[in-house]
Structure 1
């Protein structure tokens, strides 16, 4: 069976939970040959993962690097197709064949329409158009700019807000980049599998429109929720915020509408999925799993013995809310002055956020207590450094770091987001309200000062992983789901 696994900004070129999940899937599933379709901001030279023999091909689509995807096409027969499409794409063709489609898309977008049949028709019409005509010539044409400007100005006038020329330029530029995959042909596969309900949908639509390929979604963190959090916190203008929110909600609804199977890594996500139109009969919970034979209890390193130690594995960016973690350390230090927080994870994901974290560490005089350690190449060895582990995210799916810590017999203090409380049941760790450093800090103190409780929770945590969240359970679930989705498509 052939599966196209479509990701955005993750596997195989970047780390993080979705990349961990993707790598385990590609490495362990035995009945599938994978093609990776990796949507990234720029072109990446080498994967950071050693790809298994199950991965037969990697397609990289750098949305923001080239002027157009065809920049990567060699001087071959394919090149002449590109030239022919350019020559055929005249202003008259754009005005007659594309502008009506594009206008309908903008009408649906700005009206908050939940008419997914109409939106699906528009997206299919775009795909059919770009089979014959050039993407760049069309999307950068005066005709497209004019209709985008007219629709956007009409929308902003109705809302009493003026859109600047900069706003309009940025809005159309984003659309240009996001829709690039419509112009890229993809080889036939048996199943397409997207890792979030966002713009990875578009290559999956190309396959569904051309071949009827069934589509699976695995929802980790809720894409639409995380995007709304990000957009609302941003410094974008009002016009851009509204535009991005509508675009996000539009693509999320269509993702659920077109999916043949929606896999949620927790129960929490389902509320959001149903809110945005998912068919409950298509939704299934499939929990993540970890290798409990690799993530095992180990002796604490000699240099840390006697030091109350809290470990964390987290990329340093806003959703992990490392600022709250730092503030919780200040709370703990009042009771345990020699406490150490060791945080492992990429410090370069959002450099300005890392700088903010470093400034807070200095401001709170935590230079001898809180350490941003950067990337660690052997995650299975991290948790033995700590007496407990911590997670302070404001959004999660079903976090691997929680499962990995539990598998190592290290109890977790974590925030109650996503599926965290589904992993940490009573007696295996503590779950706290997000953005509450006092509550989080008090639970850290409770575990660090009560050896008996900590050891008991650690044993129960590992047993919970062995009973419910092993890698074998996870892989067998996906092998069965791939077979089922493909078989159902043959019967349609």
Structure 2
């Protein structure tokens, strides 16, 4: 549904999956910074979410240079066509390519016409050929769960492709002037970007913060919605064959995005290497680190001290592994009296949030651990001695840069760019600066608690980490440098001459 149209040309169209403007923090803040930092560029946004009930509405003030906003949800049953008996299309068998990493994706699966003409949504949903197609997949993979469960599971896996195609087709019909597509992920957003790139013949810029395929793989492997239990499986990792099909599906969505994109950016070198291993052509890839407005955190720097508060600033979702943080706070309080704060939205996964509350109660931490919800990060950092993330996957978290800019040492798991941010790694001089905190293994509450204890009790170490963190952000991660990198890239892809635009 289009909720904003200022009837102006669109220079850059963001296609966002589950982020700006319906979710705050992380990638959404990054998108907001790019829009606000480029007031001379008109932006459009197509938002793709799961279902309307999962969001609380628009969470950002919409700037004047955001000239188009279309909000859509992938899983709305009411929008499906009425059932009817159809023969379907043999073309549906080409969808098998999505479920195998050994096959190349045919070019026609990357076109809008495949989903709007060759295999329409009605043909996919109600065609006999679709039934036979799903039967073949079921038998080829020797699945043990009942066929009817498999049928609905795989049908729903493919269904969003038609929803995405429908949203893309609606945008094409509007005949909007467009110069560049920018997607902050692969997945469904990257797939839609690929369809529009081919349909409209405009450049496509792909940016990944975390690696989408890796994060979906974690979600799928941790999911309990797959009930197939093959005790005689020859898979050395014991992965449910149905989960393998789901993982392959998202790997192939990524390959489509990588193949269609004109330029692929990541936040750090290791992420670029992972992109290449997943199918990104190396010549298209480039690293552009995040940056922040350092002066915003000067007020924190003036007040920084090892206060007995450790704050995890992030969403309360499984990938952030908030439970490890809770356990670490419990262990820490056997040595010193410390408060633990979880600062971030709790509504994204209510079941997980309740599990965290239950764990706090079981461990008797009601007086030492609080969930504060979304807060202004500057206000939070004024009151803490150590910031932390216990995530099992990250990209280049802005909260690490924000904490270091305020002189607050950081404890993070060894994921994404966290080691680079805390220990240095962009070049030799960066490494020589020293440590801005401590990096710990994933899911290690004992080592995490020891890291908190050292920073809160060793004043000299805390002070040095504080100094190093601020210097590292000043030298390598300024907002101006970040913004200039994207201004140059935007100008290059849009075919305009880059100039030194004033920074805001």
Same topology, TM > 0.5: yes
Structure 1 residue 29 corresponds to structure 2 residue 14? no
Instruction: Indicate conservation of the 8 Å contact 2:110/2:195, yes or no.
Output: no
Alpha-carbon distance between aligned partners in 1 of 2:454 and 2:100, rounded to the nearest angstrom:
52
Structure 1 residue 354 corresponds to structure 2 residue 353? yes
SS at match of 1:330: helix
CA 305–202 in structure 1, closer or farther in 2 if over 3 Å, else same = closer
Structure 1 residue 419 corresponds to structure 2 residue 417? yes
Partner of 1:103: 93
Structure 1 residue 445 corresponds to structure 2 residue 453? yes
CA 149–463 in structure 1, closer or farther in 2 if over 3 Å, else same = same
**One of 291, 294, 318 as aligned partner of 1:292:** 294
Alpha-carbon distance between aligned partners in 1 of 2:108 and 2:161, rounded to the nearest angstrom:
18
SS at match of 2:435: coil
CA 3–137 in structure 1, closer or farther in 2 if over 3 Å, else same = same
Superposed displacement of residue 243, structure 1 = 2.6
Alpha-carbon distance between aligned partners in 1 of 2:94 and 2:134, rounded to the nearest angstrom:
14
CA 114–285 in structure 1, closer or farther in 2 if over 3 Å, else same = farther
> Which residues of 2 match residues 274-313 of structure 1 at below 5 A?
274-298=276-300, 308-313=308-313
Q: Relative to structure 2, which stretch is displaced further, 359-368 or 387-396? A: 359-368
CA 16–179 in structure 1, closer or farther in 2 if over 3 Å, else same = farther
> Which residues of 2 match residues 206-285 of structure 1 at below 5 A?
206-237=195-226, 238=240, 240-285=242-287
CA 274–316 in structure 1, closer or farther in 2 if over 3 Å, else same = same
SS at match of 2:214: helix
Instruction: Indicate conservation of the 8 Å contact 2:255/2:280, yes or no.
Output: yes
| 4+ residue segments displaced more than 4 Å | 129-135, 304-307
Partner of 1:323: 323
Partner of 1:74: none
Alpha-carbon distance between aligned partners in 1 of 2:306 and 2:32, rounded to the nearest angstrom:
36
Partner of 2:231: none
Partner of 1:61: 72
- Normalising by structure 1, we get a TM-score of 0.87
Instruction: Indicate conservation of the 8 Å contact 1:28/1:475, yes or no.
Output: yes
Q: Relative to structure 2, which stretch is displaced further, 402-411 or 60-69? A: 60-69
Alpha-carbon distance between aligned partners in 1 of 2:370 and 2:281, rounded to the nearest angstrom:
45
Superposed displacement of residue 17, structure 1 = 0.6
Superposed displacement of residue 450, structure 1 = 1.6
Superposed displacement of residue 312, structure 1 = 2.0
Long gaps (5+) in structure 1: 71-85
Alpha-carbon distance between aligned partners in 1 of 2:209 and 2:132, rounded to the nearest angstrom:
36
CA 207–404 in structure 1, closer or farther in 2 if over 3 Å, else same = same
Partner of 1:80: none
CA 139–357 in structure 1, closer or farther in 2 if over 3 Å, else same = same
SS at match of 1:254: helix
Instruction: Indicate conservation of the 8 Å contact 1:316/1:345, yes or no.
Output: yes
Alpha-carbon distance between aligned partners in 2 of 1:16 and 1:155, rounded to the nearest angstrom:
43
CA 30–90 in structure 1, closer or farther in 2 if over 3 Å, else same = farther
Partner of 1:75: none
Partner of 1:122: 109
Alpha-carbon distance between aligned partners in 2 of 1:172 and 1:61, rounded to the nearest angstrom:
20
CA 274–163 in structure 1, closer or farther in 2 if over 3 Å, else same = farther
CA 455–487 in structure 1, closer or farther in 2 if over 3 Å, else same = same
Partner of 2:47: 38
Partner of 2:62: 51
Instruction: Indicate conservation of the 8 Å contact 2:414/2:439, yes or no.
Output: yes
CA 314–166 in structure 1, closer or farther in 2 if over 3 Å, else same = same
Partner of 2:152: 169
Partner of 2:16: 7
Partner of 1:194: 183
Partner of 2:235: none
Long gaps (5+) in structure 2: 1-9, 227-239, 424-433, 497-504
Alpha-carbon distance between aligned partners in 2 of 1:130 and 1:463, rounded to the nearest angstrom:
52
Q: CA RMSD in A?
A: 2.5
Superposed displacement of residue 486, structure 1 = 2.2
> Which residues of 2 match residues 332-351 of structure 1 at below 5 A?
332-336=332-336, 338-351=337-350
SS at match of 1:295: helix
SS at match of 1:21: helix
CA 464–272 in structure 1, closer or farther in 2 if over 3 Å, else same = same
Superposed displacement of residue 46, structure 1 = 3.7
Alpha-carbon distance between aligned partners in 1 of 2:95 and 2:446, rounded to the nearest angstrom:
48
Superposed displacement of residue 487, structure 1 = 2.3
Alpha-carbon distance between aligned partners in 2 of 1:307 and 1:260, rounded to the nearest angstrom:
48
Q: Relative to structure 2, which stretch is displaced further, 269-278 or 291-300? A: 291-300
Alpha-carbon distance between aligned partners in 1 of 2:450 and 2:115, rounded to the nearest angstrom:
58
CA 246–310 in structure 1, closer or farther in 2 if over 3 Å, else same = same
Alpha-carbon distance between aligned partners in 1 of 2:103 and 2:278, rounded to the nearest angstrom:
9
